[in-house]
């Protein structure tokens, strides 16, 4: 035993199978031989000497040495004279004589930027109150349940009057009820691991186990998650295993040589982002990353992880344009075989510990079987962001309606593959930054048409098979791109059209929750059927969405032009009375009020290959949804 550490824990870490290595490495409060103190453990195989330095020893590297305890490079020390919540780093003397000051890779809390030291942990006294949520998760079927996600960057959702960030506790008291009132089922947070640069939004990390100190201490973040769960809102967090910062105080050349990154700079360098790639084949790095994913799920009760930039992990030449920079695997391909193996291992481990977790891949490639089980050759995720749908749909919506007939395939093609994976439909932060314009500003036409197009886009996404995600500010119909250093344009709610969009998003989410046809069979071909994908000239599509209950379905009609169509025939499957139950052109949503007030009796004449049809008014630039409310008595008797 080394200060309450077993030989088994050490062995598993070096084998890449210690999935709770955060309980081994880092700084932990322990009691040893009747005395309480801090135990420090760090992995640095190329180090000659290591000392713990900080305010407690005036940053002098001769007072708190660590001892090497494994040939593979684990170092340990136990000290009783170091206070809690005090900055510290590891002073590492490398084999070539360099002296490096490094933050603890396993630190649980870090100093507020621009300071970079780790903090000795305060024992968490937080008592969770989400037992009901955790119990329901054990039997929760996410595939057949509604999932509507509000994506949030905590630093710019809303700020204090002086422009400073809200704390986790303040966000819990304001953001959570806001999201609940809008009808969302989940909040997705941009990365919350510690990062030095605000404008990286958390995607360039230095402290993988350290919840960022920008918004307060870690127990306050637990309070935030707890409040979400008490409001029946799940929490998903973006996680970044694909790359890490080059900052000198962090993981880069941690002990004087490449350790967490690949030794080959051609594999290590991510020139696109100016970062470094993890060495996915190194067992200790596997223990680090898999433990980190489990840590967020277990320690902070996170319900799901969106794995960022999966394609950049899977392909050795992801961001390489010049042949001289390209490298290939042993079979001659550019797949990173170690990354493939790591991702499969990651998902297998996560689901073995947290079977109800959502593991979502943000993958821009066309790789098949991303959400298939690993035993059939899949990557093992249970959801994939549908980047193809997002790109095609936004390209189509940006076209003037006059020209949309020439791009009709962009609208219909995503349905060809929508059931090949468990897809999520994202309208995320990536689509409203870097000159891409806001969603509203992407829409063509005058102001009325822009708002109508935006309502149609949101409604079409909600009716399309797949789970849903909208980035914050989308509910306000912001004209400006996301301004990551300012709060959302809340003043827009004083303007009628923007307030109407806000009410529309709220109504749309609650409508989605009310009708199982829109979510129960998202990933099953029985949940969707075309009525008419072929009306290219008028840019109108119609389809059916079904639930698991026999006979329960919705008829969805989308008109992507500003023309009102009267007495428009739509094939329906059963005779009866059809009622319009949702219309994005309703006046309360800022539309022109071209609604179908009266019920529509089906006509026993074949249309769209169906035995019945109804004649409806199709509103301009709008989605309208119908449901059979009453079946004739003689039909019921026959059944």
In the set 308, 338, 431, 517, the catalytic residue is 308
Which run of H or of E encompasses 193?
Answer: strand 193-194
Model confidence pLDDT, tens digit, residues 462-487:
999 999 999 999 999 999 999 999 99
d(CA 248, CA 255): 11
DSSP 480: S
Query: pLDDT class for 633, splitting at 50, 70, 90?
Result: low
Model confidence pLDDT, tens digit, residues 556-576:
999 999 999 999 999 999 999
Which run of H or of E encompasses 448?
Answer: helix 447-463
Q: What percent of the chain has pLDDT over 70?
A: 99
How many structural domains are present in the chain?
3
Query: What does pTM read for this prediction?
Result: 0.95
d(CA 109, CA 107): 6
Give 434-445 as a DSSP string. Answer: TTS--HHHHS-S
> Does 347 lie in the same domain as 243?
yes
Give 486-545 as a DSSP string. Answer: S---GGGGGSHHHHHHHHHHHHHHHHHHH-GGGTTTTTSGGGEEEEEEEETTTTEEEEEE
> Does 547 lie in the same domain as 474?
no
> Does 554 lie in the same domain as 509?
no
- pLDDT of res. 323: 79
Query: What does the H/E/C string look like for 355-391?
Result: CCCEEEECCCCCCCCCCCCHHHCCCCCCEEECHHHHH
> Does 604 lie in the same domain as 491?
no
Mean pLDDT, rounded, of the chain: 96
| Cα angle for residues 421, 422, 425 (degrees, 5° grid) | 105
Taking CA atoms, 360 is separated from 72, 84, 203, 343, 623, in Å, by 34, 36, 16, 12, 29
> Does 108 lie in the same domain as 73?
yes
- pLDDT of res. 579: 97
> Does 165 lie in the same domain as 103?
no
Paired with 385 in beta bridges are 424
Long-range contacts: 295-301, Cβ < 8 Å, 24+?
A: 295/20, 295/22, 295/209, 296/237, 296/239, 297/350, 297/353, 297/354, 297/357, 298/353, 298/354, 300/211, 300/218, 300/221, 300/222, 300/225, 301/128, 301/130, 301/134, 301/222, 301/225, 301/226, 301/229, 301/235
> Does 387 lie in the same domain as 266?
yes
> Does 291 lie in the same domain as 154?
yes
Terminal alpha carbon distance of the chain = 73
Identify the three-state secondary structure at position 95.
coil
Q: How many residues belong to the chain?
A: 639
Residues 6+ apart with CB under 8 A from 86: 54, 55, 56, 119, 120
d(CA 590, CA 78): 66
Residue 125 falls within a domain, yes or no? Answer: no
In the set 303, 362, 421, 431, the catalytic residue is 362
> Does 367 lie in the same domain as 229?
yes
> Does 530 lie in the same domain as 507?
no
- pLDDT of res. 639: 47
Query: pLDDT class for 309, splitting at 50, 70, 90?
Result: very high
Residue 136 falls within a domain, yes or no? Answer: no
The Cβ of residue 526 has, within 10 Å, a number of other Cβ atoms equal to 11
Identify the three-state secondary structure at position 603.
strand
Q: What percent of the chain has pLDDT over 90?
A: 94
> Does 507 lie in the same domain as 438?
yes
Which run of H or of E encompasses 222?
Answer: helix 218-230
- The predicted model gives 5-34 an average pLDDT of 95
Model confidence pLDDT, tens digit, residues 511-523:
999 999 999 999 9
Q: Which of 454, 480, 514 is the last residue of a domain?
A: 514
Query: pLDDT class for 635, splitting at 50, 70, 90?
Result: low
Model confidence pLDDT, tens digit, residues 154-208:
999 999 988 899 999 999 999 999 999 999 999 999 999 999 999 999 999 999 9
pLDDT of 638 > 60? The answer is: no
Q: Strand 118-119 to strand 148-152: parallel, antiparallel, or no bridges (unpaired)? A: unpaired
Residue 238 tokens, joined? 């973006």
- The predicted model gives 216-230 an average pLDDT of 97
Instruction: State yes or no: is 335 an active-site residue.
Output: no
- pLDDT of res. 62: 87
Residue 127 falls within a domain, yes or no? Answer: no
- The predicted model gives 274-301 an average pLDDT of 98
Residue 205 falls within a domain, yes or no? Answer: yes
Instruction: Output helix, strand, coil percentages for the chain, rounded to the nearest 5.
Output: 30, 25, 45
Residue 134 falls within a domain, yes or no? Answer: no
pLDDT of 125 > 90? The answer is: no
Q: Are 427 and 390 spatial neighbours (Cβ–Cβ below 8 Å)?
A: yes
Backbone angles phi, psi at 510, to 5 degrees: -70, -35
Identify the three-state secondary structure at position 628.
strand
CATH code, domain with 630: 2.60.40.1180
pLDDT of 634 > 60? The answer is: no
d(CA 379, CA 368): 9
Residue 94 tokens, joined? 């490398």
Query: pLDDT class for 631, splitting at 50, 70, 90?
Result: confident
Q: Which of 514, 542, 569 is the last residue of a domain?
A: 514
- The predicted model gives 73-97 an average pLDDT of 95
d(CA 261, CA 241): 11
Q: Which of 514, 545, 572 is the last residue of a domain?
A: 514
Residue 70 falls within a domain, yes or no? Answer: yes
Model confidence pLDDT, tens digit, residues 594-608:
999 999 999 999 999
Give 237-306 as a DSSP string. Answer: EEE--S-B---TTTTTTTTSS-SSB-SSHHHHEETTTTEE-B-TT-HHHHHHHHHHHHHHHHHS---EEE
pLDDT of 549 > 70? The answer is: yes
d(CA 277, CA 266): 10
Query: Taking Cα atoms as reference points, which of 540, 518, 553 lies closest to residue 626?
Result: 553
Paired with 408 in beta bridges are none
CATH code, domain with 463: 3.20.20.80
> Does 381 lie in the same domain as 430?
yes
Instruction: State yes or no: is 308 an active-site residue.
Output: yes
Query: Taking Cα atoms as reference points, which of 405, 408, 383, 375 lies closest to residue 393?
Result: 408
d(CA 487, CA 505): 20
Identify the three-state secondary structure at position 309.
coil
pLDDT of 142 > 70? The answer is: yes
Query: pLDDT class for 630, splitting at 50, 70, 90?
Result: confident
Q: Strand 565-572 to strand 269-270: parallel, antiparallel, or no bridges (unpaired)? A: unpaired
* CB contact burial 422-450 (16+ within 10 A = b; e otherwise): bbbbbbbbbbbbeeebbbbbbbeeeeebb
Residue 626 Rama label (left phi>0; alpha psi -120 to 50; beta): beta
Residue 133 falls within a domain, yes or no? Answer: no
Domain extent for 78: 7-119
pLDDT of 276 > 70? The answer is: yes
46 vs 632 pLDDT, higher one:
46
CATH code, domain with 73: 2.60.40.10
Query: Taking Cα atoms as reference points, which of 18, 6, 226 lies closest to residue 129?
Result: 226
Residue 135 falls within a domain, yes or no? Answer: no
Residue 469 tokens, joined? 């995600």
Identify the three-state secondary structure at position 159.
strand
């Amino acid at each position: 035993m080394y200060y309450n550490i077993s030989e088994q824990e050490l062995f598993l870490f070096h084998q890449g199978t210690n999935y709770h290595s955060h309980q081994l490495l880092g700084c932990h409060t322990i009691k040893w031989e009747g005395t309480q103190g801090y135990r420090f453990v760090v992995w640095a195989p190329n180090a000659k000497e290591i000392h713990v330095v900080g305010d407690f020893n005036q940053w002098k590297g001769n007072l708190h040495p660590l001892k090497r305890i494994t040939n593979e490079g684990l170092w340990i020390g136990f000290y009783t004279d170091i206070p809690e919540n005090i900055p510290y780093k590891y002073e590492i003397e490398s084999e070539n004589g360099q002296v490096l000051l490094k933050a603890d890779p396993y630190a649980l809390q870090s100093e507020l930027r621009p300071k970079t030291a780790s903090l000795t942990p305060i024992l968490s006294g937080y008592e969770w109150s989400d037992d009901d949520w955790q119990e329901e998760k054990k039997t929760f079927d996410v595939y057949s349940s509604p999932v509507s996600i509000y994506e949030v960057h905590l630093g710019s959702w809303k700020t204090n009057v002086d422009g400073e960030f809200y704390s986790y506790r303040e966000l819990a008291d304001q953001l959570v009820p806001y999201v609940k009132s809008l009808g969302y089922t989940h909040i997705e947070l941009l990365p919350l691991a510690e990062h030095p640069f605000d404008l990286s939004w958390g995607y360039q990390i230095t402290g993988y186990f350290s919840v960022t100190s920008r918004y307060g201490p870690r127990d306050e973040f637990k309070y935030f998650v707890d409040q979400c769960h008490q409001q029946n809102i799940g929490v998903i967090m973006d996680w970044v295993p694909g790359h890490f910062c080059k900052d000198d105080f962090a993981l880069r050349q941690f002990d004087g040589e490449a350790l967490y990154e690949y030794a080959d700079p051609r594999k290590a360098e991510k020139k696109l982002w100016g970062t470094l790639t993890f060495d996915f084949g190194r067992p200790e790095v596997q223990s680090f990353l898999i433990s980190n994913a489990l840590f967020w799920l277990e320690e902070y009760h996170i319900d799901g992880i969106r794995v960022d930039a999966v394609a950049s992990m899977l392909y050795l030449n992801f961001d390489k344009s010049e042949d001289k920079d390209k490298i290939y695997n042993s079979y001659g391909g550019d797949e990173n075989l170690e990354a493939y193996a790591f991702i499969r291992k990651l998902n297998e481990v996560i689901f073995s510990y947290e079977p109800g977790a959502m593991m979502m891949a943000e993958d821009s490639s066309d790789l098949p079987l991303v959400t298939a089980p690993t035993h059939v050759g899949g990557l093992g995720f249970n959801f994939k962001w549908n980047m193809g749908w997002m790109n095609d749909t936004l390209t189509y919506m940006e076209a003037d309606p006059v020209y949309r007939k020439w791009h009709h395939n962009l609208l219909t093609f995503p349905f060809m593959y929508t059931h090949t994976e468990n897809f999520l439909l994202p309208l995320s932060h990536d689509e409203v930054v870097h000159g891409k314009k806001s969603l509203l500003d992407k829409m063509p036409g005058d102001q009325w048409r822009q708002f109508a197009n935006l309502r149609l886009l949101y409604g079409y996404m909600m009716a399309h098979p797949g789970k849903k995600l909208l980035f914050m500010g989308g509910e306000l119909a912001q004209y400006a791109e996301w301004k990551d250093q300012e709060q959302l344009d809340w003043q827009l709610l004083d303007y009628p059209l923007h307030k109407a969009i806000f009410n529309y998003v709220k109504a749309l989410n609650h409508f989605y929750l009310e009708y199982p046809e829109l979510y129960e069979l998202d990933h099953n071909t029985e949940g969707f059927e075309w009525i008419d994908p072929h009306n290219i000239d008028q840019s109108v599509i119609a389809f059916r969405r079904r639930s698991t209950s026999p006979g329960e379905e919705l008829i969805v009609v989308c008109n992507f032009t500003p023309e009102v169509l009267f007495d428009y025939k739509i094939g329906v499957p059963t005779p009866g009375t059809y009622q319009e139950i949702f219309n994005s052109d309703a006046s309360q949503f800022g539309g022109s009020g071209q609604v179908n007030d009266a019920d529509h009796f089906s006509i026993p004449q074949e249309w769209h290959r169906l035995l019945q049809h109804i004649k409806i008014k199709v509103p301009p630039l709008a989605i309208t949804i119908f449901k059979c409310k009453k079946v004739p008595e003689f039909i019921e008797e026959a059944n």
